[in-house]
Amino acid sequence: MRIVLGIGGGIAAYKAALLLRLFTESGHTVVPVPTEAALRFVGAPTWEALSGQRVSTDVFDRVDEVNHVHQGQAADLVVVAPATADLLARAAHGHADDLLTTTLLATRAPVLFAPAMHTEMWLNPAVQANVAQLRAHGHTVLEPADGRLTGPDSGPGRLPEPEVVRDAALRLAGDGGAPDGPLAGTRVLVSAGGTREPLDPVRFLGNRSSGKQGVAIAAAARDAGAAVTLVAAHLETPVPAGVEVVHAGTAEQLRRACVRAAARADVVVMAAAVADYRPARIADAKLKKAEDGSNPVLELVRNPDILKELVDLRNTARRRQLLVGFAAETGDAETDPLTFGRRKLVRKGCDLLAVNHVGENLVFGQDTTTLTVLSAAGAPEQVLEGSKTDVARGLVARIAQELAGVRAGA
């Protein structure tokens, strides 16, 4: 496989040299394309010695070969590591002012960006908007690692370790991760965490979901060989390396992200805790207590049923797609959680529904859980229990089994 390795101008460029070595040791041809700024951190002789390829940054180099287009056309995979804030911005807006950005515009190969910058820069709304734009273009942008940065600083923004970037890149190209895994060659969408519906600039309606189970499912699907997109609402756990992450705050934001990602997914797992209702109006300023002591009246409107919408879209497009829903149920004085779950399975129209019994001291935020998997096809109910990692692996194994049946019946 021919891999173009784009290198941005950041201190983490030294890790890109280790990444290059990992690729070449796996038998791949690597063409380094650094920016001018990157060469101030690691010089051209290093890239040429490690790759055996001539290094250039200039679109006017090798004009007779139309090199600024050829590199992108010939690539099977493009990896940009480190992807600096400036490089993300130029790529997101289609700039073509050096060999790397022209290569990005000219390629039809999968593209993976591995960002690296200080925490404040990574969290800046402009950078997050550029990341969202790149993902909307179909590119994969990894979440940076959380750890030691340049100097005494620490936080999210650290370039993931070279092995993590390599594994994510090869999975994206269908040439790595778990080539014999049960989900090899599939695209999996997982939603996780709890949505938050704003009341005013400081308050919101939310829920107790930590996102641990959805994150564990995303990691288990990754380990099974799938290319994973994680649509993340509010999380109280780190996102897994090697998966594409799309952040969403409200139910509507999560809906848009899921509809977009589901269009190219083989499997959809809706594990997020989505608010059923949102305030009809969001106050522009913080709501104050009434001076007369009266209680406020809050008008709520129903949020869209995302799982049902995805089922309808799947059926309308006649996609061979497996849809898995989640039902967090408390039961009541007359009905147990599983009965509610069975009704929901029929109402939603999904293929599998994972039901768990929840409450203030049950499941939410805990490291262990119990899921009962219900099947629309009438298969026996399956109970998965243990750590959330073990339960996630059990659910992924069930998904692989069901997906094989979907494809066999196509």
Task: Give the CA angle between residues 177, 181, 187 to the nearest 5°.
Answer: 75
Q: Is 49 left (phi over 0), alpha (psi -120 to 50) or beta?
A: alpha
pLDDT at 133: 92
Average pLDDT over residues 4-31: 95
Specify the higher pLDDT residue, 290 or 272.
272
Q: Which CATH superfamily is domain 1-171 in?
A: Flavin prenyltransferase-like (3.40.50.1950)
pLDDT at position 66 is 65
Amino acid at 239: V
Q: Give pLDDT, residue 153.
A: 79
Strand (E) or helix (H) holding 328: strand 322-329
Distance, CA of 311 to CA of 295 (rounded, Å): 40
Residue 174 tokens, joined: 């269908």
Q: What is the largest CA-CA distance in the chain?
A: 81
276 is in an annotated binding site: yes
Find the range with the poorest average confidence among 81-90, 140-149, 215-224, 256-265. 140-149
* Sequence spans of domains, the chain: 1-171, 184-407
**Overall average pLDDT of the 244-249 stretch:** 90
Which string of DSSP letters, residue by residue, matches 244-293? Answer: EEEE--SHHHHHHHHHHHHTT-SEEEE-SB--SEEESS--SSPPPPPTT-
Band of residue 244 on the pLDDT scale cut at 50, 70, 90? confident
CATH class of the domain comprising 184-407: alpha beta
DSSP 37-51: TGGGTS-HHHHHHHH
Among 209, 315, 316, CA closest to 270? 209
**Residue 404: predicted pLDDT:** 83
Range 129-149 average pLDDT: 88
- Asked if residue 284 belongs to a known ligand binding site, the reply is no
Q: Which one is predicted more confidently, 51 or 60?
A: 51
**What are residue 141's phi and psi, to 5 degrees?**
-120, 115
In contact, 113 and 134? CB cutoff 8 Å: yes
Give 323 or 144, the one with higher predicted confidence: 323
Are the C-beta atoms of residues 23 and 3 closer than 8 Å to each other?
Answer: yes
- 193 sits in the region (left: phi over 0; alpha: psi -120 to 50; else beta) called left
Examine the pLDDT at 364 and tell me if it is beyond 70: no
Residue 31 to residue 86: CA distance in whole angstroms: 22
pLDDT score for 358: 66
315/321 Cα distance (integer angstroms) = 9
What is the rounded distance in angstroms from the CA atom of residue 76 to the CA atom of residue 294? 65
Is there a binding annotation on residue 308? no
Which of the pair, 335 or 96, is modelled with greater confidence?
Answer: 96
Name, in order, each residue with C-beta under 8 angstroms of 408's C-beta and a sequence gap of 6 or more.
Answer: none
Q: Count how many residues are written for the chain.
A: 410
| Distance from C-alpha of 304 to C-alpha of 294, rounded to nearest angstrom | 32
pLDDT tens, position by position, 64-73: 666 778 888 9
286 assigned binding-site residue? yes
Taking residues 248-253, what's their average pLDDT? 95
pLDDT of res. 335: 75
Q: Which amino acid is at 9?
A: G
Q: Which residues are catalytic?
A: 207
Q: What is the mean pLDDT of the chain?
A: 89
Model pLDDT, residue 357: 76
Same fold, 1-171 and 184-407: yes
Q: How confident is the model at residue 329 (pLDDT cuts 50, 70, 90)?
A: confident
344 is in an annotated binding site: yes
pLDDT in tens, 208-238: 899 999 999 999 998 898 989 999 999 988 7
Check residue 403 and give left, alpha or beta (phi > 0: left; psi -120 to 50: alpha): alpha
